[in-house]
Amino acid sequence: MDVISLEPETSLLLTTEQQDAVLGRLMRERKETELRKIALEAEGARIGANLAKVGQGLQRRLSGIQLQGEDLESDFLHSAVWIEPSELEEISKIVQLANDYRAAIKTLRQISAQLAQAGWQ
């Protein structure tokens, strides 16, 4: 029976089969978390691009900002910046997105530490 320590303060006696199961689970969790992290990064980039568009409109064409589907006086159509209502709703998602991203990074670090401790990378 081999000894593998999966937690810093605990050593467990595991059979080779149990070690394989634990390492397989950790590898799967790492892959799933890496994919989640990539998806969160893509969502952040998408929201960031929308916010950049709104920000540029605020800086350069404030008189033309209007929600998509609403009327804008003809005097201001030359500087129109149409905003989807959903783009404004995304602002409320930013903090949760950042929290989820930090959680994914921490999970990856924990899994990597456990794999390194078990002699795997």
Which run of H or of E encompasses 82?
strand 81-83
Distance between CA atoms of residues 70 and 27, nearest Å: 51
Indicate the pTM of the whole model: 0.73
40 and 100 Cβ atoms separated by less than 8 Å:
yes
- Which pLDDT does position 9 carry in this prediction? 45
- Which pLDDT does position 99 carry in this prediction? 96
pLDDT in single tens digits along all 121 residues of the chain: 444 455 544 446 778 888 888 888 999 999 999 999 999 999 999 999 989 988 998 899 999 999 999 999 999 999 999 998 888 888 889 999 999 999 999 999 999 999 888 777 6
